[in-house]
């Protein structure tokens, strides 16, 4: 069983750390927020005073932090590489920009560590139920070592390629999701104007060429998919603010790489507008309200 230092015990990190404990691993955790540290302790995570204490004697360090600057700050400024043995495996599960992910790999390699970026998909529900999808970037050696741990927190683990490939897969996937949710929402709003019922549109589109996940798993109107957040006032779910974050990361990556993504750019603007008008915490499928003009 591994000795794991887990840094960032928020909405996602807390349950993920708890699932590692459930699988028999020894997890020492740290978080800037005492409430999150206390909640993780209830899941069997040993609370550490600081990053160096959490990392002492660890075989693996997992980070689950808000943004690229946080991962880089932990890697570059916390003294963590001095607190662990050479060859320790660093797994960054945060969703961050591709450039920071590659820098994190470089910092780890320079310090003699193994590393992978491994963002996740599946939300807080997936983190609780250990059913996340994990998309990893890094060397095969690092991935092979990480895989059994990733399988403790998720049901699907994919090695996407070299350093940063996990983040690339995450933002490409979420760009598809953001754009397709807007397309599905526009179709339902057009149907309403044309007097076509939600059920009729769903029955046709879900078995025709308009079929997509945003329609069949996350339908933005109540009724056709009983488990979609639309049936519960768009709560809980995948917050619009997080969709804005991921679409902005996709746009940064598109600008840096020269990819042309006009629909991704428009989706980023529309979700930002939606989030700024009081919907930051609502599930992203609530964008249908803005499209209706409300
Ligand atoms: P969160 O804000 O709930 O948790 C982040 C935690 O990191 C906080 O508890 C914060 O106190 C802690 N933290 C920040 N800097 C720290 C530091 N230097 N040392 C120790 N702790 C520190 O966020 P979350 O929802 O758990 O998301 C974490 C990551 O997962 C983000 O990158 C997010 O984009 C990604 N993600 C979130 C979801 C979701 O549905 N919430 C889904 C997929 C991916």
Is the beta carbon of 94 within 6 A of some atom in ligand 1? yes
Domains of the chain: 3-163 (3.40.50.720), 168-291 (1.10.1040.10)
3-class DSSP state of 28? strand
Is-contact 26 12, C-beta < 8 A?
no
Task: Locate the ligand 1 atom nearest the alpha carbon of residue 33 and give its number.
Answer: 11
Candidate of 5, 6, 9, 12 to mutate for ligand 1, largest count of ligand atoms within 8 Å of Cβ = 12
From CA 66, how far away is CA 6, in angstroms rounded?
14
| CA distance to 4, 66, 130, per residue, from 38 (Å) | 18, 19, 21
pLDDT value of position 107: 98
pLDDT value of position 123: 86
Does the pTM of the predicted model rise above 0.85? yes
Protein residue closest via CA to atom 13 of ligand 1: 8
Phi and psi, residue 133, nearest 5°? -100, 130
Angle between helices 165-194 and 240-257 (to 10 degrees): 120
H-only helix segments in 11-122 = 13-22, 34-42, 51-55, 68-77, 80-83, 98-110
pLDDT value of position 294: 78
Q: Which two tokens stand for residue 13?
A: 């990190």
pLDDT per residue, tens digit, the chain (294 aa), is 999 999 999 989 999 999 999 999 999 999 999 999 999 999 999 999 999 999 999 999 999 999 999 999 999 999 999 999 999 999 999 999 999 999 999 999 999 999 999 999 988 889 999 999 999 999 999 999 999 999 999 999 999 999 999 999 999 999 999 999 999 999 999 999 999 999 999 999 999 999 999 999 999 999 999 999 999 999 978 999 999 999 999 999 999 999 999 999 999 999 999 999 999 999 999 999 999 997
Q: Which of 69, 145, 170, 294 is catalytic?
A: 170
Is-contact 188 218, C-beta < 8 A?
no
Is-contact 248 238, C-beta < 8 A?
no
**CA angle centred on 228, ends 226 and 231, rounded to 5°:** 65
């Amino acid at each position: 069983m591994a000795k794991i230092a887990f840094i960032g015990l928020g909405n996602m990190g807390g349950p993920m750390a708890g699932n590692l404990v459930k699988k028999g691993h020894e997890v020492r955790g740290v978080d800037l927020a005492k409430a999150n540290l206390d909640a993780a302790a209830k899941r069997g995570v040993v609370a550490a005073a600081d990053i160096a204490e959490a990392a002492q004697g660890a075989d693996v360090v997992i980070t689950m932090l808000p943004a690229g600057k946080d991962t880089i700050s932990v890697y570059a400024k916390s003294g963590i590489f001095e607190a662990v043995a050479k060859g320790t495996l660093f797994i960054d599960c945060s969703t961050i920009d591709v450039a920071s992910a590659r820098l994190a790999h470089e910092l780890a390699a320079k310090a003699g560590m193994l590393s992978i970026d491994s963002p996740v998909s599946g939300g807080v529900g997936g983190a609780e139920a250990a059913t996340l999808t994990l998309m990893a970037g890094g060397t095969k050696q690092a991935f092979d070592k990480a895989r059994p741990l990733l399988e403790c927190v998720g049901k699907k683990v994919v090695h996407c390629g070299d350093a940063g490939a996990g983040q690339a897969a995450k933002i490409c996937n979420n760009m598809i999701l953001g754009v397709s949710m807007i397309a599905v929402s526009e179709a339902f709003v057009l149907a309403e104007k044309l007097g076509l019922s939600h059920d009729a549109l769903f029955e046709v589109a879900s078995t025709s060429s308009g079929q997509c996940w945003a329609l069949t798993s996350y339908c933005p109107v109540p009724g056709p998919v009983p488990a979609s957040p639309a049936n519960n006032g768009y709560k809980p779910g995948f917050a619009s603010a997080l969709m804005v974050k991921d679409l902005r990361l996709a746009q940064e990556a598109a600008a840096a790489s020269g990819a042309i993504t006009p629909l991704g750019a428009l989706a980023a603007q529309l979700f930002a507008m939606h989030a700024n008008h009081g919907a930051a915490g609502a599930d992203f499928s609530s964008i249908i309200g803005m499209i209706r003009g409300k």
